[in-house]
Amino acid sequence: MKTYKLLFVCLGNICRSPSAENIMNHLVEKEGLSDRITCDSAGTGAYHIGESPDSRMRVAAKQRGIDLIGRARQFKVSDFEDFDLILAMDQDNYRNILNADREGKYGNKIKLMCEFASHHQEKEVPDPYYGGPEGFNKVIDLLLDACSGLLEQIKSEKLIIDK
């Protein structure tokens, strides 16, 4: 059985993308699809390689019953081959990922995370790093919405094999 592989990408891989990864894993597990959908995250920058998710982000996620785990890593060109869908948190991340695709072969795999949100109007997931707690809470709520929409789209397009 083929596993559908998702990669969530932000700048430093300590706030937005690990939150999206862990939220999606949480939703996938609740649906009983952990054997068919896998998630990872990465950053376009090399600022925080090896670090855990930001403590403020962990607090915001924990308030919604989600643990943020993992270690930051940088996006690499081999990710284009390794993942079925690459989800950028904002336009800068999107452009950086496209720029890494030197031959222009993988553009169809790259989407903006907010394309899947149904209850929020934002076009990008804002970076909460330099703000207060309200920014982290907003990001978690936005990602819960977008990840739910993404999971529904994956299921509706039968990108995963039915049980």
Which residues does the annotation mark as catalytic?
10, 16, 127
pLDDT at residue 163 is higher than 70: no
Cβ-count burial of 32 within 10 angstroms (0-12 exposed, 13-18 middle, 19+ buried)?
Answer: exposed
Taking only the tens place, the pLDDT of each residue in 10-65 is 999 999 999 999 999 999 999 999 999 999 999 999 999 999 999 999 999 999 99
0.85 exceeded by the pTM? yes
